[in-house]
Amino acid sequence: QVQLVESGGGSVQAGGSLRLSCIASGLIASGYCMAWFRQAPGKEREGVAAIHSFGTTSYADSVKGRFTISQDKAKNTLYLQMNSLKPEDTAQYYCAADREPCSPSMDYSLYYKYRGQGTQVTVSS
């Protein structure tokens, strides 16, 4: 059973930074994909960033250059470093994961089999 637990959300002013963490259990050491997606009230889910266990990453155009996805395999933890935050980044952020075969693409990541409960990020202007 795969379990994902997010943390690190909060409220910041525009231009600030936050780092989200997602502790994963139940994934095999190699051969998986993990991602962050977000959903704001009244809006569709949006893929933010994804990573394959081999290291390949992808990002939504809206966050390129500002967000960085990374993983610490020793700690079974996925991170999302968010810099230069904007009010439009306000949303509930979710961690998601799937086993191979998988693709670290934005569209595919929205359908990963496993997801956490989410953590709220609020950016004020």
pLDDT the model gives residue 92: 98
Question: Binning pLDDT at 50, 70 and 90, where does residue 34 land?
Answer: very high
Taking the C-alpha atoms of residue 89 and residue 100, their distance in angstroms, rounded to an integer, is: 30
- Tens digit of pLDDT for each residue in 46-105? 999 999 999 999 999 999 999 999 999 999 999 999 999 999 999 999 999 999 899 999
Asked if 60 and 106 count as a contact pair (C-beta separation under 8 A), the reply is yes
Taking the C-alpha atoms of residue 57 and residue 117, their distance in angstroms, rounded to an integer, is: 23
Chain-centre distance for alpha carbon 105: 12
